[in-house]
Structure formats: structure tokens, C-alpha cells
Amino acid sequence: MGSCPYTSVLQAFYSLVLTYISKDATDGISSVPNLNDGATYDFIIVGAGSAGCVLANRLSEVADYSVLLIEAGGEEPYETNVPAFVFNLFGSAIDWNYTAEPQIRACGGQRCPFARGKTLGGTSSINSLVYNRGNPLDYDAWEKQGNPGWSYKDVLPYFKKSENNLDPFFANDTKFHSTGGYLSVSQFPYEDRYTQAIFDASTEVGFKPVDFNSDHVSGVMRLQATQENGKRMSTNLAFLKPIRNKRENLHIATGVRVTKLLIHAHNKTAYGVQYVSENQRNRTGKVFASREVILSAGAFNSPQILLLSGIGPEVTLKKLEIPVIQNSKVGYNLQDHYTDPGIRFKMTNTQNITKSQLEILPGALKYIRPKRTGPWSCTATSQIDINYQSTFVNKSIEYPDIQINFFPNSTCGEGTNPFVYYDIINFIPILLRPKSRGLVTINTTDPFSHPIIYTNYFNASQDIDTVLEASKVAHQLANTTAFQKVGLVLDTTYEPTRSQIETGSNPFWKQTPVEFMYSICHPCGTCKMGPDSDPDAVVDAQLKVYGIANLRVVDASIMPTITSGNLNAGVIMIAEKAADLIKKSHS
């Protein structure tokens, strides 16, 4: 480990800075009203994450609709505003802190952690801010699987509906981008010399600069992010904050966990939810929906709530003595973007990390409002991505299957300092369309127990071959003039092999904390959308749950196949489209 002599002093300063900027996330936000037990609303939305906040905004546009948004977490805290603090939020009080069951090929046999936001804004409040819609072919594939209305030409207007693109270059491309939406999107306002070197080295080895949110996506990009002038734009800040004190028909309840859906057994119709207070578990109650209940609790919590309510695999429910209302493949088809960490680039300047620590003070001063510049306004080297097409993809189509990210790290190990001060850059080849599938299930009727997660990473042999092939890009970058100029040197000490992946035996995986190193935290697919002829489908193309009236699922869990990009943009699109589907149903 490197020497980090200033850590304790700077931690105290860091805490003071957090206190100073604490107003940013709470300005103009009123206290949350108590949930009125026994009340009836037109729509109940369960989960105020990337989808739930969008739905709450769009449905409450109709003055005649009364809308209740229920969130287990609380108000979004001030730390979420700062892009550089992104990984400080993993494992915090606003993270559900889920972990997967240990499996040999995943996380070196340890439990893989899954960061999931437990706050208004959900995971959009703690993610890496990337705005990446994926490949147009992803959505065309959804339609070909029997989901009419979900092709790229059908969903593109919904991506644009949300977007307020602040970069003139992209905003002028009206075919793929737009302005005036609730969600501010732009490239980060700051870039250090190593980030610039990664971009230059990528072009030097042949990757062309592209826009990942267009129809030509193979190449390198300075990522667009859900941020405005160096401040995160979660779906809470983008979609809820502007309207929550202005629309009397929108009610928001925080610190409330939905434990069960209320369903009439005789006609299989959802009519409300049962809930309990997060902090006072003797406080329980029920609220009712006259039109629909909408699950937007995410790829883990939505299936958990369905299972607890009697919707899911019959064999699972009977073991737990849960009355079976609908036998369904809830929890199956789990997909995620994941990787095999090991290759790193080191900086030849061994004093870099000590120097970086001393830069925390000027970095904070540059960021303090209203300036919001400097390293705290970005995510360092991870704001550069390469879309790489392996030999396993048909070369006649543009369909990259690897996304290469450059994750900054420190020889000081984990701490609470912003991660933009670093002396190591991890080369992260991410599987965009893995063949492996996992499972989410439950083994208890206790709604406060975590769902059981089986990732099944690298179960498909091709996933191993694909991710290993991408390693050659690291070797190409190491030989570029751009890397040599700034002193970035390839460290292949722990470069993974097929045998190590199959046995989980790479020593790097055993000695390194597994956070941020395997899963990219993009779980989806556990309430699969598909036609009624698909035995694995849980919802139809209208996102209605098969066999249950007045119940929909609107979140990442409905994705039949994972998209080739960070999921947040796709989930927001799903919610935008779902809002129109719902309005049309109740026009």
C-alpha cells in the first residue's frame, strides 16, 4: 500500500465541506406528509426510483388523477449532488446493501454487492451519472421477441421527451437529442490530464469519437451524464422537485415499505397495498387504488413484493405457505453487466497520491457553489468509455458487446475521500450482452429480509471468452504515445485467465474489496416483458401483469434482454412510455 500521510486531517476537512453544501439537495423541498391509513387514490406507485419519480410526475399532470408515491427510503441527502462522491454512497444508509449468494465464478467466491438506491431518486441518486441509452438494435430485438411498440423508432421519442441536452453539439442533433425536458444531460465540466490521455490513446489505436446515444455507437466517447453544471440530476431532483409543492393531487410518502399487494382472490384484481413504517414497524396500514397499482421498486424489490403477494413460481410459494394467486416466472431471467477486474495502469510518479491528497482543499474551493468546477464536478477517468465489438459479433452489423471503462483507484485503499484523487486506473471490460442468466427469489415471508440473488456470472462459456478478448485493448493502449507522455504503465500482475475465472482463484480478487469491481450494478429482466405465448413472461407489452387486473410493473425488471448501455436512461424511457400507456387506458 502507498503512503497516505494526510488522510486523517483531510477527512475532517472533507466532513466540513459536506456540511457547507448541505443545502443543495433540500432547497425548496417541504417536509413529507404522513401516509393516511385507509385512504384511496387513483394510482399507487411503489418505489420512487428512476421509474417511479417519472411516473409520479407524468400521471399527476392530469389534475383529475390522485397519485400516491411510496418510497422506503427518505429524502435525498446532500452528498448525492456531488459527482465525485458517487462511490462514497455505495454501502451507505441510502443503499439497500444487497449482496448475491456466493458463487465460484463471481467476485472470487465472495458475495457480490449490489448498490441499489434507497431514497427519493432511487439508484439514480447513487449511480455513476452515465446517460447511455444503449444500442438501437436492443429495442428492435424487444419488438422481435413479441413486444409491439418497443422498437427503437417507437421508444426514441420517449428518450427525447425527457431530455434537456445542455451540450450545443448534441442539442443541435435533433434526430437523436432534444432540449426542454425535465432531465438535464451534458458532458462533465472538468477533465484532468489522465482522462484526456485515455481519450487520445483510444483514438490513437483506432477508436473513433462517437455519440453513444445515436445509431453509430462503436468507438470512444466522453460520456454524457445526468448532471447540470457539475450537479447530479437524479430523477428526484429532475422530475419531483419542480412539481411536488405545486400539484395537490400528488402525495409522497417516505420511510414506508410496501409489504404486500392487496388482490381480490375471486377476480384477481389489485386494489391497494399493505405497508409498514421503516422505523416504527408496529405502524402498519393499508391504502387503496381505484384505478391501478404500479410496481416500480426495481429488479430485486419488484419480484420480492410480487412473490410475497402470491404471484410467482408455484413451487416457491407453496414452500413458504403463501397462497398462490398467479403461477408465474417472477424472479427468473436476471441479467446484469459485469466484468473480470485485474488489469491496471499505474502512474510512474510515486508521489502522485500524496499530491492528490493535498489537492482536496483547492478541489473543494473550486466546487463550492455557485462555481461547481474542478475535479469534484466529474467522475475522473471513468467519464471515458470505449464500445468494443468482439469477434463473437456479426461484423456486418454495428453491435458492440463490450464497454471498456477506466475506473480510478488509489493505493491508499478505500476511504471516504472523493475518488477523483487516484494513482491507479483499473481497466474494466464490461459484458454488455451476457449469455448467463440469474435468479431472484425469497426464502421467507418476512418483508424485511433481503431477497435471495443468484447471479450465475460466467455460467455461459462465451461470456468468459468475450471478456478475455477485450484485454488486448489494454495492451494496445499501453503502447500509445498518449499514455507514455503522462507516464501510465500497464500492470498485468493480475491479468485474468480462463482458469482463474472458472475457479475464482485470481489472487487480486481475494485481496481486493469486491465493491465496484465485478457487477456494474445494472440488474434487470426479473419481471420479463413478453407475449402470452412466452412461458417466461410476467408482463405484456402494456406492462400489465399477466393474470392480475389493475397491476403493472414499470422498471428495469421488465426488460426482456439487457440493453447495451447503462440502464438509467432506458428505465426513464420505460416510465415515460408507460405513463402514456396508462393515460390512454384511463382516458
User: Which residues are tagged catalytic?
Assistant: 522
Residue type, 369: R
> Bridge-partner residues for 172, per DSSP?
none
Cell of 474: 489494454
Beta bridge partners of 510: none
Residues facing 209 on adjacent strands: 220
Say if residues 546 and 531 touch (Cβ distance below 8 Å).
Answer: no
User: In the structure grid, which three cell numbers stand for residue 348, read together?
Assistant: 510512474
- What backbone torsions phi and psi does residue 21 show, to the nearest 5 degrees? -95, 15
Q: Please give the backbone phi and psi of residue 526, each rounded to the nearest 5 degrees, phi first.
A: -80, -5
535 — phi, psi (to 5°)? -65, -15
Q: Identify the three-state secondary structure at position 490.
A: strand
Q: Is 134 left (phi over 0), alpha (psi -120 to 50) or beta?
A: left
Helix (H/G/I), strand (E/B), else coil: 12? helix
Which residue from 213, 161, 153, 135 is spatially nearest to 562, judged by alpha carbons? Answer: 135
Task: Record the cell numbers describing residue 288, joined without a space.
Answer: 387503496
In DSSP terms, 345 is beta-bridged to 425, 490
> Is residue 46 within 8 Å of 258, Cβ to Cβ?
yes
Alpha-carbon gap, residue 565 to 577, rounded angstroms: 19
Q: Which residue has the cell 404522513?
A: 34
SS3 160: helix
| Reduced 3-state DSSP string for 368-392 | CCCCCCCHHHCCHHHHEEEEECCCC
Task: Provide the grid cell at 225.
Answer: 451524464
Please give the Cα distance from 237 to 29 (Å, whole number). 10
Give dist(CA 191, CA 188) in Å, integer: 8
Write down how long the chain is: 587
Indicate the residue type of 533: S
Residue with cell 432534444: 178
- The DSSP letter of residue 451 is P
User: Cα dihedral angle (20, 23, 24, 27), rounded to 10 degrees?
Assistant: -170
CB atoms within 10 A of CB 192: 19
Neighbouring C-beta atoms of residue 228, cutoff 10 Å: 18
Nearest 5 degrees, angle CA 76-CA 65-CA 236?
A: 15
What secondary structure does DSSP assign to 233-265, as a single string? --HIIIIITTTTTT-TTEEEEESEEEEEEEEET
Phi, psi (degrees; rounded to nearest 5) at 362:
-65, -30
CB atoms within 10 A of CB 67: 25
Rounded (to 5) percent helix, strand, coil in the chain: 30, 20, 45
